[in-house]
Amino acid sequence: MGSSVRKGKAVLPAEQAARPCSPRRMQPHRAATEAYHHAAQNANNGQAITASCKNKDTDLQFKIQAYIDKNTVMIFSNTACSLSAKVKELFKSMSVPYFSLELDQTEDGQKLQDALYELTMETSVPIVFVQQKQIGDYDKTLKAHKEGKIQKLLETKGHDHIQDSYDYDLIVIGGGSGGLAASKEAAKYGKKVMVLDYVTPTPQGTRWGLGGTCVNVGCIPKKLMHQAALLGQAVQDSRKFGWQFEEKVKHSWETMTEAVQNYIGSLNWGYRVSLREKKVTYENAYGEFVGPHTIKATNNKGKEKFYTAEKFLIATGERPRYLGVPGDKEYCISSDDLFSLPYCPGKTLVVGASYVALECAGFLAGLGLDVTVMVRSILLRGFDQEMANKIGEHMEEHGIKFIKQFVPTKIEQIEEGTPGKLKVIAQSTDGREITEGEYNTVLLAVGRDACTRTIGLDKVGVKINERSGKIPVSDEEQTNVPYIYAIGDVLEGKLELTPVAIQAGRLLARRLYAGATLKCDYVNVPTTVFTPLEYGACGFSEETALEKFGEENIEVYHSYFWPLEWTIPSRDNNKCYAKIICNIQDNERVIGFHVLGPNAGEVTQGFSAAIKCGLTKVQLDNTIGIHPVCAEVFTTLSVTKRSGGNILQSGC
């Protein structure tokens, strides 16, 4: 038998009496927790519960009846009871969603237990209802399952009841790449899906359309402006290839931003059309949990609507962090503002050493602007530090100034304008020095914060990392509240990359609604930093590999290379660099891939597939290269770091 429900009666057998299973021994606290597991079908049979049951605690019985009426499978449970856990596992194994009310964690749990006995005459939990029919305790539920009664009950009413119980099968909070991918994938399987997306304006008032950070203020405009800078370099190189032109070449910021924003606008419209075609409901509203399975949507006019859903997906992403010093929000911009800035930023101070900071500094300098980067500690934290330092050296050689180990303490406005003029006061990290400088624009790129603290997660019990705001999830992107999932940049310990969020969202929808089992693989994910000298990476950094496997078990092969296209202009010889990290104990399997050079993303994407398949150094050596291309260098790597051999190149 399970845990006791009936008041004042001994209902546990002697061998179970010592177990911490009885709800009566538990002190009730906080609101009820709920459980919901993935599903495709439903089931059950038993005695009907009617509203005619008489009880002095009528209100409590109505409350219980409401739970029963609302849910296809309702389990009155106890977190400490092993039989309650077993009955949940039974429904989970059947791929049937259930709702469980944990009586030992409910504020009025004791009174509910008494009312349950009066209503059901069941003396122990779990107490199971299917399609509003009382099945009973664990033994009765197991018996009904073996006899096929549960499945018959579910098949009788089909899936309609689940869909009628809530407004939607799935509500996605966040209309970025991951959220959109998940919503459209779920809709493909006939699910009723809603997407809530709302952009809180930046301190400078910038806002944007549907599509999230990547499309509007991230990857897309960044790569386009990076391309604009590369074209400027190509114009310079072209003279060496015989191109002749007399007029002075200059860049128009306004023309570039207009073209970029027009393209982004077409993407925003395309996403809305795509959602409509997939029959996904879209609302431009801020989503906030207000209770179990319930969310409040507030539009930009303050109008509130409330919706319920069987499941929720948090895909709210991150927003840029500010310094918390005088003048930062008043006078500084972030990457959220830069790509639609209506005027050329002029002399710019970039604060930060993240990939966002270095990418923006790189293309701004490539457009001919005076750029300084203020760095608190190291470049590209989390990336291979040898590669990061080579990027920094290259940027300095091309005119970008670095102020190292300083942080701003105050930003003051000297002149208004577009751009105006700002004074930045900064202090060294050891506190011994103060420096001042004047700039037209200060761009903050000091990190990003997860958008999780103001969406009501505390109201439904979703746990977050209090320091970072990130959400811990299982390997199936499930939070501690079983009906709430999360993907993308809000996840704790996962890569903050658009393609990762897209993959995780699609696979999650397939597991929830198509019976799939494949999970998102967060290992060996390729990425690229679009600095002037592009950096592609996949797998372990050298530091991490040495720490994990030990120096004696790691072999690093490396070489400089000189792109053929750069030989005629005679620039940047022995600046491009290739490196692979191999695990000696695993047949020299390639566990780290790093490249600095043109089109690094294209190069890395191809090799990452081979790395996923277990690429070894021998296989790489046996691969015939394409001549003359940059990626060819990886088929001829022969010098190890351990050997100290010369890796400088004199030609292609």
The catalytic residues are 627
The answer to whether residues 382 and 408 touch, using CB atoms and an 8 Å cutoff, is: no
Identity at 583, one-letter amino acid code: N
Sheet of 527-529: strands edge to edge?
Answer: 527-529, 535-539, 589-596, 576-583, 554-561
Interatomic CA distance for residues 382 and 353, integer angstroms: 11
The answer to whether residues 635 and 623 touch, using CB atoms and an 8 Å cutoff, is: yes
Instruction: Cis check for the bond before 628: say yes or no (omega within 30 of 0).
Output: yes
As given in the structure block, the two tokens for residue 598 are 């043109």
CA dihedral 148, 152, 155, 159 (to 10 degrees): -80
What would you report as the CA-atom Rg of the chain, rounded to the nearest whole angstrom?
Answer: 30
Going through 315-379 in order, the beta strands assigned E by DSSP cover: 318-320, 333-334, 348-351, 371-375
- How far, rounded to the nearest angstrom, does the alpha carbon of residue 268 sit from its chain's CA centroid? 20
Interatomic CA distance for residues 649 and 652, integer angstroms: 8
CA dihedral 438, 439, 445, 451 (to 10 degrees): 100
Interatomic CA distance for residues 190 and 200, integer angstroms: 32
Parallel, antiparallel, or unpaired for β 434-439 and 281-283?
A: unpaired
Among candidate residues 232, 238, 70, the one with its CA nearest the CA of residue 167:
70
Q: What is the SS3 assignment for 169?
A: strand
Interatomic CA distance for residues 77 and 577, integer angstroms: 60
The answer to whether residues 327 and 411 touch, using CB atoms and an 8 Å cutoff, is: yes
Interatomic CA distance for residues 83 and 54, integer angstroms: 29
Instruction: Cis check for the bond before 342: say yes or no (omega within 30 of 0).
Output: no
Instruction: Cis check for the bond before 499: say yes or no (omega within 30 of 0).
Output: no
As given in the structure block, the two tokens for residue 185 are 């994938």
The 3-state secondary structure of 376-420, one letter per residue? CCCCCCCCCHHHHHHHHHHHHHCCCEEEECEEEEEEEEEECCCCC
Q: Which residues of 259-286 are buried (b: 16+ CB within 10 A; e: fewer)?
A: ebbeebeebbeebbeebeeeebbbbbbb
As given in the structure block, the two tokens for residue 330 are 């008043």
To which residue do tokens 């003048």 refer? 327
Interatomic CA distance for residues 143 and 130, integer angstroms: 14
As given in the structure block, the two tokens for residue 35 are 């459980």
Interatomic CA distance for residues 242 and 68, integer angstroms: 81
Beta-bridge partners for 596? 535, 577
